[in-house]
Amino acid sequence: MGSDMAAPESKVIIVGVTGASGAILAQTALRLLAADERVARVHLAVSDAGRRLLDHELGVRGAIGELPGGIVGANAGKGVTAAGKIEALPNADVGASIASGSYPADAMCVIPCSMGMLSAIATGASTDLISRAADVSLKEGRRLVLCIRDTPFSRIHIENMLRAQQAGATIMPAIPSFYHHPKTIDDLVTQYVCRVLGQLGLPQSKQFAWTGQNAGMNAAQDEEHDEVQGLENEMHPSTRKVRSV
Ligand SMILES: Cc1cc2nc3c(=O)[nH]c(=O)nc-3n(C[C@H](O)[C@H](O)[C@H](O)COP(=O)(O)O)c2cc1C
């Protein structure tokens, strides 16, 4: 099992946040990216509906430049890395660095991803920075992970998923897993976000990995799992006491 911190690199990751429920997914992803020595830079773009969501679900509001610190710092305990490497870009600025394929980004995720944004990406609309950067990711053959969320799916949603997937995107619905015996909301969120980061080319050695039903959760994984959940629980004291999920 490799170490996440052993090999400093200079990955550039784009994170889009749109107006689908699950601001905590974006928050956890940004915290883990900010703490990851393999990541040099994170470019963050938040849609208008995404900003409403951050306000509604995390109580984060303010000027664009204040968003990284606001998101990473919201409900934070000790041990949360500063948001210094996260640069927030105006979503209306379709001329920003990440709007061009010549800008050397490594991977992008939209977390959470609304059905509206899925539609924009599936049709190549490129009318804002998030959909343009996603369009660039696809045309450049870079990893693009769409953390879609809605229930139930309409035929339009499903057709858009298919279209985006066939163009090269990874459709990663915000669906939690339960085989790692989650005890808290943080357990659910962290496992899901670790899977997303793995899809971005940032494998997470501390996420739970299934080794077969009879093997179950082995002792080493159990220990590491508790360790990463401990960090997450520090980060989210408001959810620490939630036990029944
Ligand atoms: C609090 C809140 C939660 C929402 N949750 C969802 C959701 O889970 N999935 C979704 O597709 N749209 C959701 N919406 C609606 C989208 O935000 C809306 O369709 C918006 O136009 C999407 O724009 P965007 O893709 O530019 O962020 C939500 C809106 C609000 C205000």
Task: Return the domain boundaries, the chain.
Answer: 11-176
pLDDT of residue 74: 73
Which of 60, 114, 115 maximizes ligand 1 atoms within 8 Å of its Cβ, making it the mutation to test the pocket? Answer: 114
Q: Which CATH superfamily is domain 11-176 in?
A: Flavin prenyltransferase-like (3.40.50.1950)
Query: Tens of pLDDT along 100-155?
Result: 999 999 999 999 999 999 999 999 999 999 999 999 999 999 999 999 999 999 99
In the prediction, which pLDDT does 78 show? 57
**Using an 8 Å Cβ cutoff, are 24 and 58 in contact?**
yes
3-state helix, strand, coil in the chain (%, to 5): 40, 15, 45
> CA distances (Å), 30 to each of 1, 168, 180, 190, in order?
23, 23, 23, 12
E strand intervals along 127-217: 143-148, 170-171
- Please compute the mean of the pLDDT values over residues 172-198 and round it to a whole number: 95
| Nearest alpha-carbon partner for 44 in 70, 13, 73, 19 | 13
157 Cβ below 6 A of ligand 1: no
Phi, psi dihedrals of residue 165, rounded to the nearest 5°: -65, -40
Closest residue by Cα to atom 7, ligand 1, is 20
Of 75-79, 186-190, 203-207, the poorest mean pLDDT is in 75-79
Q: What is the pLDDT of residues 194-225, one digit of tens each?
A: 999 999 999 998 778 888 877 655 544 555 55
How far apart CA 88 and CA 86 sit, in angstroms, is 6
Ligand 1 contact, 68 CB (< 6 A): no
Span from the CA of 187 to the centroid of ligand 1 (angstroms): 24
Each residue's pLDDT tens digit, 1-31:
445 554 567 999 999 999 999 999 999 999 9
Between vectors from CA 139 to CA 37 and to CA 117, what angle results, nearest 5°?
Answer: 80
